[in-house]
A and B are shown apart, each in its own frame.
Chain A
Amino acid sequence: MGNKALRSFLIPIATLIGFIAVWQISCIVFEMDPWILPDPRTIALRMAEDSALLWKHFLSTLKLALMGVGLGLAVGIIVAIVLHSVSFLRTALSPLLVLSQNVPIIALGPLLMIWFDFGLMPKLILLIIVCFFPIALSMLIGLGQAEPQLREYLGMIGATRWERMKRLEFPASLPYLFSGLKITATYAVSSAVVAEWLGASKGIGYYLVLKFKGYDTSAVFGAIVCIVTLSLLLYGAAALLERLVIRWRPRTSDDWAGESS
């Protein structure tokens, strides 16, 4: 790790610590009512107190979000490839695709529960609907972005459509696919929490409803800490996967944090 990489790691950490410190100090100086805005220390203590329970709910939400991202990824890739290959379907289905994102999940959730009962099924469907879209959309763009010279080359040597997809369009779309996956990873956790909020007996979303109804503000903040952590975890996993898969590019500073090696 070079000096630059170290800095791009340390500076955000320092910012975070600074933010928490300002928060803590303000709470003390302005004598904040902990029911309205608890200070970080109180939140930490509350989390420690509930740690066993929180951990269980944390894992449950993580599992739900991961399943959602996994299935969303599969559906997203299939949708992108099918729409790319069959232009009729692309024209016919794109309004439907956008529509699927226009219905708020707060409205969709209860409907899905009416149709599929309260088990895992409606939550997974909800998550798939949220998760597949960024992946399908960015990959669809990526499939069309393959370099014209390579396209021409494959045409000249008489490659089949399948070979063109396998050797050119799919690999060329991978960087786009991962941009979509990173967006999905960011949304998946909050969507999982909303799904749990609507009806579940475990998960951070469930914990959140419980504590909210009991006016346990510091526990609500504890839940938020868990959600943020989960989101960062998923984003980090997506970014790591991207690095492992896309190794052919000379490293560029395309990450939002501007990393370089």
Chain B
Amino acid sequence: MKEYGRKMLELTGISKSYRRGKLRVPVLQEITLNVREGEFVTLIGPSGSGKSTLFRLIGGVERPDEGQIAVDGKVVTGKRGLISYMPQQAALFPWLSVADNISSALATSGTSKKEAKEQALEWLHRIYLGGVAKEYPHVLSGGMQQRVSFLRALLMRRDVMCLDEPFAALDALTRADMQRWLLELWESDRRSVLFVTHSIEEALMLSDRIYVLSPAPATILQEITVPFERPRRADVWMEPAFAELKREVLNLLEKGDISRV
């Protein structure tokens, strides 16, 4: 197994609750986790457990009630502009061409305009989307839009990439296709990734480590290290260890559910 370097993202004791009328509804409780340099870490948990909320805290859009967030060793709780982000819906700007969608995001992260344009075009060609670089996003299929959205996140000069259920809205075939595509692209340029999903197979296919979350208020039930080697084989799901891990995570998630009823 590869040894990982320093912690690029570190959350310590993060708690967050929302006010609903007079009630305080806790969403996150004492979340502690980290992502090391070049590591692919997945958060898995039932929907509504607070995964997107955690991302909003990391992005600095909201502040945690307790705990702190550090990026590359520096405490940056509540600070914006340190991560790149890929949401569930591609969130491409309909009035910008595919290439401009990417280059304008790069400009936000401090790349010069000219360089951003060149980089966007070069990479679009590399992922075989050079032909649609000048088109508006609405001509692209859902899967193609997600590829553009991923590329946009990948190219931003940021320490951590946060991907929030990027494939949840895609059909099963496109989804499997996208997973392999993302894996290949990511393995050629290892960035620190925090990935959210509620698909166990997806988590096992892609990640180095998995944090399993309980239903809301979310706590970390367990941390699992995924033992399969990199570059990961497409048929890794056929290994017995894969099925075993899958069962383990499934059990955890079910137990979490039952303990709340």
Known contacts A167-B104, A250-B138; A156 and B93 CB within 8 A of each other: no
B82 touches A158 (CB 8 A): yes
Q: How many A-B residue pairs have CB under 8 A?
A: 59
Closest to A158 in B: B81
At the interface, yes or no: B105 with Cβ under 8 Å from chain A?
Answer: yes
> Which parts of B42-89 form the interface with A (CB within 8 Å)?
55-56, 59-61, 80-85, 87, 89
At the interface, yes or no: B133 with Cβ under 8 Å from chain A?
Answer: no
Given A157, A171, A174, which contacts B83 in the complex, CB threshold below 8 Å?
Answer: A157
Secondary structure of the A contact surface, majority rule? helix
Secondary structure of the B contact surface, majority rule? loop
Q: How far, in angstroms, from A249 to B85 measured CA to CA in the complex?
A: 25
Q: How far, in angstroms, from A155 to B156 measured CA to CA in the complex?
A: 15
A248 touches B95 (CB 8 A): yes
At the interface, yes or no: B91 with Cβ under 8 Å from chain A?
Answer: yes
B55 touches A156 (CB 8 A): yes
Q: How far, in angstroms, from A246 to B85 measured CA to CA in the complex?
A: 28
Closest to A245 in B: B95
Q: List 24 A-B contacts (CB under 8 A).
A: A149-B87, A150-B93, A155-B59, A156-B55, A156-B59, A156-B61, A157-B59, A157-B84, A157-B108, A157-B109, A157-B156, A158-B80, A158-B83, A163-B108, A167-B93, A167-B96, A167-B104, A171-B93, A246-B95, A247-B136, A248-B96, A249-B94, A249-B138, A250-B138
Query: Residues on A close to B: CB < 8 A?
Result: 149-150, 152-153, 155-159, 163, 167-168, 171, 174, 246-250
Query: Residues on B close to A: CB < 8 A?
Result: 55-56, 59-61, 80-85, 87, 89, 91, 93-96, 104-105, 108-109, 136, 138, 156, 158, 162
